[in-house]
Amino acid sequence: MNEVLLKVENLSKIYRSGIAAGGVTTAVDNANFEIKPAEIVALVGESGSGKTTLGKLILRLIKPSLGKIIYNGIDISKLKGRRLVEYYRHVQGVFQDPFSSFNPIFKVDRVFDLIFDSYLKEMKQKKRELIANALEKVMLNPDDVFGKYPHQMSGGQLQRILIARTLLLDTKLLIADEIISMLDASVRVDVLNTLGKLKDENKISVIFVTHDLSLGYYISDTTMIMYKGNIVEMGDTEKVYSNPLHPYTRMLLSVVPTVDRKWEKKKEEELFSLFESGKRRIWNGCPYYDRCPLAMEVCQKKPSLLEIESGHKVACYAAIQSKGSKAEKTFSSENEK
């Protein structure tokens, strides 16, 4: 088995708008990372940080402006015809709103019928058996699913049906984009446990897109923090959460509510100061410059994502200087350029 399932190299997505395309929005900015087989990666960030765009790029729903996405050693932009169909047998997505994935006038069975019509024509004789096995893997009783309409199912059940659909295709990588944000708290853990079970038993890798750090911590092996299209920190989940290095990561963790701590007015004022530092935005510099309490003159030049400790990277000059790690040499050489 290839040690790297998916590799993203210098990936960017730039949208142009306005008269003569004068307006530019960089939704994903020079992303670089790898995903291994049977690994769950939490992609965390606030709304508008580029998480969903990154997932759509991997699913080839939109084209990248720059960079490559390499799956099992193959650049997916070169895939056509049968090779592209084969890619979608292994790479699938499940999205935020499960209800929008079903046509209300058809029974839920139809999402499975479409899979067999497009990908598994030679296996239609075993269709019901294969669907039943997939449903059982996501902890659903097939008898409670077959013949039902979407309005007869809960959001959690519909979401697990969509996950079961991907299992019919020998999925190796699942893009799970905010798949539990619309579900009740009591149902969320069931869906997360389903993903964990699929990773352990089916060796499926998952990119778990979320804005909720607590959910990312619960399910993931690796965490990537995104801000304004940039991956500002990434690494082993335990290391990122126990030793957050980027000021943005620290801010996100500080606003996670806990049942044993009452929200205080003083805390609110401290957090507000992090959102409004009074600095002007530097377009070619650190994306967090205008909100960062640790911003320095050197931050007007965009930092690279550098390894601070084994399995832990950050794009922040202040963090690199304070750690005094091997990345310090890289920081010094970059600063001299």
Q: Which pLDDT tens digit goes with each residue over 9-20?
A: 999 999 987 666
Over residues 312-336, the mean pLDDT reads 67
Q: Which pLDDT tens digit goes with each residue over 191-209?
A: 888 889 889 988 999 999 9
Share of the chain above pLDDT 70, in %: 85
Closest CA to 108 of 137, 142, 59: 142
Beta pairing partners, 15: 25
**Residue-level pLDDT at 331:** 43
- Residue 78 banded pLDDT, cuts 50, 70, 90: very high
pLDDT at 212 over 60: yes
pLDDT at 276 over 60: no
**Residue-level pLDDT at 121:** 86
Report the topology of domain 6-242.
Rossmann fold (3.40.50)
CA 112 remoteness from chain centre: 25
**Residue-level pLDDT at 333:** 47
Q: Which pLDDT tens digit goes with each residue over 221-269?
A: 999 999 999 999 999 999 999 999 999 999 888 877 666 666 565 454 5
- Residue 40 banded pLDDT, cuts 50, 70, 90: very high
Q: Which pLDDT tens digit goes with each residue over 123-179?
A: 888 999 999 998 988 888 999 999 999 999 988 889 889 988 988 888 999 999 988
**Residue-level pLDDT at 322:** 76
pLDDT at 282 over 80: no
- Residue 325 banded pLDDT, cuts 50, 70, 90: very low
pTM: 0.85
**Residue-level pLDDT at 221:** 95
**Residue-level pLDDT at 88:** 92
**Residue-level pLDDT at 321:** 82
Mean pLDDT of the chain: 85
- Residue 327 banded pLDDT, cuts 50, 70, 90: very low
Q: Delimit the domains of the chain by residue range.
A: 6-242, 247-336
**Residue-level pLDDT at 280:** 58
**Residue-level pLDDT at 243:** 92
